[in-house]
A and B are shown apart, each in its own frame.
Chain A
Amino acid sequence: MNAAPPASAQRVTLTYRDAVKAAIREALQRDQRVFLMGEDVGRYGGCYAVSKGLLDEFGPERIRDTPLSESGFVGAGIGAALGGMRPIVEVMTVNFSMLCLDQILNSAATIRHMSGGQFSIPLVIRMATGAGRQLAAQHSHSLEGWYAHIPGIRVLAPATLEDARGMLATSIADPDPVLIFENVLLYNMSGELAANAGAVDIEKAAVRRAGHDISLITYGGSLWKTLKAAEELVGVGIEAEVVDLRTLRPLDDATIMLSLRKTRRAVIVDEGWKTGSLSAEIMARIMEQCFWSLDAPIGRVCTAEVPIPYPKHLEDAALPQLPTIVAAARAAVGR
């Protein structure tokens, strides 16, 4: 009798958007307590079309359109989680999440500790983040690093199809609040994924490309630019290791430092601004934990300290780009 081929051998081609949608659909099928709530998630199909079709499949109670009341519906997600549900709340973009920062910071992140451990908030909040679509200064910022500042929540940045597909299930199983940041430029990214892809770990950073000359540390939308930069660096004899943070809080120091101790040099690529940022935090941790292993100052490629402008040439100039990443890596290695 012929054994069936292992399911993992079967590959499907899909986009990042499809992967997120498949994860949401599976969560809704698996657990009646799961529901999706947010602006335009139902009839419109999601601002980035992630939830298109789910309303027909699951109905308006579980694919719940909300008014433009970020604080109201994020707070309602917190309350619903306290009441035994497993809500997935979609905030259209991180820029709009400033309107519900109070609920995220003062309620979701504090209630467990402040109540002496009596209440947990098993809530997942998904947001789009990042620039590159000429949407100007109120739709283009990368503020996930701010959220990584807050004890009591977990912050994820899926950059690959596997993570887009798999991080949601693990997040829903998590008893505490999890924020998932989806870079807007990734939604159309297409590739192959195992047909049986499922839950993935949300603890560890991942080495996406092995190398020994320098560590390029990045996450989210910048991962792909950084991988391209690594390929380009081969041309000048530099083998770069690319570390995808995946989880921005809590940071996986072990994977970062393991890479640093091997390469002894690093450049951090982050679409956030530099000042008071996640990239600054990573630099500080490297100084604290790896100072004596370093052969060169750590470099950073971040977004220029301006509100993101509308015209394409200025937006491009503001963001981390292939040539700036390559130049920073070459400067650190001295080649």
Chain B
Amino acid sequence: MTVTREDKPHLTRQHVLQLLREMLRIRRFEERSAELYQQEKIRGFLHLYIGEEAVAVGVMQALGPEDAIVATYREHGQALARGVSMNAVMAEMYGKQEGSSRGRGGSMHIFDAATRFYGGNAIVGGGLPIAVGLALADQMQRRARVTACFFGEGAVAEGEFHESLNLAALWRLPVLFVCENNLYAMGTALAISESETDIHLKAQSYRLASEAVDGMDVVAVEAAARRAVAAIHAGSGPFFLECRTYRFRAHSMFDAQLYRSKGEVEAWKQRCPIARFTAWGKSSSLIHDDDIAAMERDIAAEVQSSVYFAEAGTWEPIEDLCRDVTTPREAR
């Protein structure tokens, strides 16, 4: 396959700053979310994406507005990188009706029709068959679109992973499977849950084109995602991208992290996707200190305003409890 120019990242100053800004937005949003959780503004489960930002940001660069996204319960990063408004995401975390899902879903169930963001699926592996179906609809309606499906390496142990890879490959569907391999399914290490820990090899066994990439390197992820999307558009069927990454924070806010050492976490933090990209950008004279300062200022303001928005949001009236369980008869 000939790689056209559009299939590669263009590391212009503008693009480099955009990548940094998008990763920083996720990082600062989530740091604030953790504080809001301690303050009991955000309740339920909160699964932070901190450390994995390069995956969502890198993959989204390769997608267009016509493409679809299916994500997991750790999906704030994907939602923000996709362009779901920060206000709507924060209000959703608060459970306010101004949230992306009217507050019904909370942190784990962000949905947004405008950006074709299909959740926010909190059954591990449950999103994969849905992504297969979205891609099937595109294929049957002869639309040149891609469905990107994010999931963790824990999903690899689920039957739905295998069923979905087989169906997508069998029917040559335009699915980009993005495995965010952060090495732990909650607290269970990959090595004690899988007989084969080299995950992209599993995809190869279903005859999917596959690639493993450094998920802590946003440019590497973007480049791989662009190659993958180009291959899908060229009609070669689904593509499997394993992004090797690490979550710096606990699985959820209830996790004491007994299953991994502080040393291991610290070693991965040395590979922080934001710090690493910033250092490279500075050394290449593409990012300057005042860029970062301005960016931090803007993002802090955006995060703060999302908090104001969520605080000012309203609770869905109890009379609406059963609204939208099914479509109202009059709306049919």
Contacts and interface: CB of A to CB of B under 8 A. Distances in A.
B78 interface: no
B136 interface: yes
Give the interface residue-count category, chain A: 35 or more
A107 B332 CA distance: 21
Contacts of B103: 116
A72 B128 CA distance: 8
A76 interface: yes
Interface string B90-122: 000000010111111100010111000011110
Contact of A119 (B113, B164, B323): B113
20 contacts: A72-B166, A73-B129, A73-B167, A75-B128, A75-B129, A76-B130, A76-B167, A79-B129, A80-B133, A80-B137, A84-B137, A106-B126, A112-B326, A114-B104, A116-B101, A116-B103, A116-B111, A116-B324, A118-B111, A152-B325
Interface in B282-332: 323-327, 332
A107 B111 contact: no
Count chain B CB atoms within 10 A of each CB in A103, A107, A151, A152 and give the residue with the most.
Answer: A107
B228 interface: no
Contacts of B323: 117
Contacts, number: 152
Given A76-B129, A76-B164, A107-B126, 17 more contacts: A61-B140, A73-B167, A74-B129, A76-B130, A76-B132, A82-B133, A82-B134, A82-B137, A103-B129, A112-B326, A113-B324, A114-B104, A115-B101, A115-B119, A116-B111, A116-B324, A154-B326
A71 B160 contact: yes
The CB with the most chain B CB atoms within 10 A, among A73, A75, A84, is that of A75
A109 to B, nearest CB: 9
A82 B132 CA distance: 11
A175 B126 CA distance: 22
B131 A113 contact: no
Contact of B111 (A69, A119, A151, A173): A119
Interface in A273-316: none
Interface string A210-226: 00000000000000000
B174 to A, nearest CB: 11
Contacts of A76: 129-130, 132-133, 136, 164, 167
Contacts of B131: 79
A85 interface: yes
A78 B327 contact: no
B112 A118 contact: yes
A155 to B, nearest CB: 12
A80 B134 contact: yes
A76 B171 CA distance: 12
Interface in A158-193: 173-176
Chain B's interface size range is 35 or more
Contacts of B160: 71-72, 75, 102
B327 A79 contact: no
B163 interface: yes
B132 A116 contact: no
Given A71-B159, A117-B324, A79 B100 contact: no
B231 to A, nearest CB: 21
A66 interface: yes
Contacts of B101: 114-116, 118
B3 interface: no
A78 B127 CA distance: 10
Contacts of B327: 112, 120, 174-176
A106 B111 contact: no
A173 B327 CA distance: 12
Interface in B164-207: 164, 166-167, 170
Given A85-B140, A107-B126, A119-B118, A151 B325 contact: yes
B123 interface: yes
A81 B133 contact: yes
Contacts of A114: 101, 104-105, 109, 111, 119-120
A217 to B, nearest CB: 24
A183 to B, nearest CB: 25
Nearest to B100: A116
Contacts of B123: 102, 106-107
Contacts of A119: 111, 113, 118
